[in-house]
Chains A and B, each alone.
Chain A
């Protein structure tokens, strides 16, 4: 990880990686979404609405993975003062917030025909909504800290504390057995039939690649802004 502490070295890898992630992500997401819409059979219980799974599950995974990334960047910031950690945290937050919002909205749309309601204060739904608000708080805090010229330590602490919500989201369907269904896919396998399941890995990997591309683009933008500010400061001194 410390090999990438040098922004120039990081950019050398990030530039081609951005394009590759974007292209592969578009391709896999496109194939997965079209396959999920047209090639899979309806579920015996949920009927056609099961197709919402192909956008809902990847967005739930990325909403949570985004905050796990922020927590890892926060540790790198607080323990090693890694020069790219705060940049990574600020880049992860909008992408994670977007996918948390997609998860909440698609879940709500899925809930109406399945449960008969758009929203329920269920453990999984509520903890996911809290995650979305945590993202908004992190974006505001990290932005304010950056404007004041801070190192990003307060945002890093917030990122670590907020990670407490991740196991709550994961185990909410076990702790509070309310409306949201339990886990269908685990380490040991899946309870979903393969004829319905196959587009899901494609959209999971595809959306993850697009998430990675968005994060790298935001990091590149932040690093370019830092270069501009540094040069402006040098020019104003001379």
Chain B
């Protein structure tokens, strides 16, 4: 059995899910902080 598809698959899953978590956290933080700043300026 060729092991490389399993190795690459495991790395892809780890990198994709970690990137998705970081992106979601970043976007939700930016959005919430921008809304809070906009209200403070009003």
Contact = CB atoms under 8 A, between A and B. Distances in A.
Interface string B1-29: 10110110111011101101110111011
Overall SS of chain B's interface: helix
Nearest to A219: B29
Contacts of A33: 11, 15
B21 to A, nearest CB: 4
Interface stretch (A44-52, A137-145, A152-160, A175-183): A44-52
Contact of A102 (B17, B22, B39): B17
Nearest to B20: A98
Interface string A69-109: 00000000000000000000000001100110110011001
B11 A49 contact: no
A124 interface: no
Interface in A198-238: 207, 210, 213-214, 217-218, 220-222, 224-225, 227-228, 231-232
Contacts of A94: 21, 24-25
Contact of B29 (A48, A113, A217): A217
Interface residues of A, number: 39
Contacts of A222: 32
Interface residues of B, number: 28
Nearest to B4: A48
Contacts of A59: 14
Contacts of B18: 29, 98-99, 102, 207, 210
A231 B29 contact: no
A178 to B, nearest CB: 21
Contacts of B15: 33, 55
Given A55-B10, A94-B21, A217-B26, A228 B32 contact: yes
Given A56-B10, A224-B36, 17 more contacts: A37-B11, A51-B7, A94-B24, A98-B18, A99-B18, A106-B10, A109-B13, A112-B6, A210-B18, A213-B25, A214-B21, A217-B22, A217-B26, A221-B25, A221-B29, A228-B32, A232-B39
**Top 10 A-B pairs, shortest CB-CB distance:** A224-B32, A55-B14, A217-B25, A48-B3, A224-B36, A221-B29, A221-B32, A106-B10, A217-B29, A52-B10
17 contacts: A48-B4, A52-B6, A98-B17, A105-B10, A105-B13, A105-B17, A109-B10, A110-B10, A210-B22, A213-B25, A214-B22, A214-B25, A217-B26, A221-B32, A222-B32, A224-B36, A228-B35
